[in-house]
Chains A and B, each alone.
Chain A
């Protein structure tokens, strides 16, 4: 049974070592986005993240009308309704 145990450990280590040699240490230690505690691509990509943000308040509110050069007399009651 010791032989089976040694074979299993050797197999796992051989796979790991082979991948480590092929991909390099940095890739071997790297955790892809969305795996474990790594944030997903949607959370890290700036373009996607911005696209997911709600529109800014300024985008929702239309631009204020440019006041005309000559002031216009307005009905006080009507103006109060527009507030």
Chain B
């Protein structure tokens, strides 16, 4: 019933609203990039200070929202949002590609050397670069012709998403250790991973279809939502603070 209403009614509005959110990282970085293109003094240093905080965090948040699409379908039965999985995947690649491009060209103050040093000169940079490059086959095949061409093999290509997920967590662990952003990333990942475990997914799906175990499902959903929010909210707040500073071209320098 709720799923039907969502699919027919506000689904289209929700899809366009959630698509519009994907512009946020580009809007936040636009003033600094524009200043650098115009050759204003200090603009490159500003990008260097902002790029990881704004585009790195945005990439991860978009990735997390993309991973949320399937569990949300399992839990609620909604279908209106399924198209966002592809949109968010492509947007994630665009954000990560801009991140790595700006990092390679502007972060010489932090990572002296060549552009290759800035994307692969340290262990955490290699993990980040590898996770970005692994998005290439995913994006190339994120369309219907590729799906038809690859047939059953298409799903196995899309499973690279899990390798990207693992590499992002390695990247964040090498950067932050067992603190702050890495723990937030784990908190966000835990419920998304749990809902992908085949027996859990199958049980939830059949219980929802048969309208059984409503109280148990409600409690479990509330617990998972709480864990998810405990990681997602600090990351979103971090993006809001750092992004606002980047937008007014007064980036937070660590």
Least CB distance, B245 to chain A, in whole angstroms: 15
Interface residues of A in 3-30 (CB under 8 A from B): 4-5, 8-9, 11-13, 15-16, 18-19, 23, 27-30
Query: Is A58 engaged at the interface, CB distance under 8 Å to the other chain?
Result: no
Given A1-B153, A4-B136, A30 and B122 contact (CB-CB distance below 8 Å): yes
Q: Could you say which of B129, B134, B137, B253 contacts A15, with CB atoms under 8 Å apart?
A: B129
Cα A34 to Cα B140 in complex, Å, equals 35
Interface residue range, chain B: 20 to 34
Given A37-B177, A37-B179, A28 and B122 contact (CB-CB distance below 8 Å): yes
Q: Could you say which of B119, B124, B133 contacts A31, with CB atoms under 8 Å apart?
A: B124
Cα A34 to Cα B120 in complex, Å, equals 18
Q: Could you say which of B120, B123, B136 contacts A8, with CB atoms under 8 Å apart?
A: B136
Check A28–B123 contact: CB distance below 8 A: yes
Given A12-B130, A16-B120, A34-B253, A5 and B175 contact (CB-CB distance below 8 Å): no
Residue tally, chain A, CB below 8 Å to B: 24
Interface residues of B in 145-183 (CB under 8 A from A): 150, 153, 157, 160, 174-177, 179-180
Least CB distance, B12 to chain A, in whole angstroms: 32
Cα A31 to Cα B110 in complex, Å, equals 10
On chain A, the residues within 8 Å of B153 by CB distance are 1
On chain B, the residues within 8 Å of A30 by CB distance are 122
Q: Helix, strand, loop or mixed for chain A's interface?
A: helix
Given A31-B175, A35-B110, A12 and B126 contact (CB-CB distance below 8 Å): yes
By beta carbon, the residue of chain B nearest A29 is B123
Most chain B CB within a 10 A radius of its CB, from A18, A28, A32, A37: A37
Check A18–B120 contact: CB distance below 8 A: yes
Cα A30 to Cα B174 in complex, Å, equals 10
On chain B, the residues within 8 Å of A5 by CB distance are 134, 137, 157, 160
Check B130–A9 contact: CB distance below 8 A: yes
7 A-B pairs (CB sep. < 8 Å): A5-B157, A9-B130, A12-B130, A19-B122, A27-B122, A31-B175, A35-B254
- Tell me the B residues contacting A by CB distance below 8 Å: 110-111, 116-117, 119-126, 129-130, 133-134, 136-137, 140-141, 150, 153, 157, 160, 174-177, 179-180, 253-254
Contacts A15-B126, A32-B110 known; list 16 others, CB within 8 Å. Answer: A8-B134, A9-B134, A12-B120, A12-B133, A16-B130, A18-B120, A19-B117, A29-B122, A29-B123, A31-B122, A31-B174, A34-B110, A34-B253, A35-B110, A35-B254, A37-B177
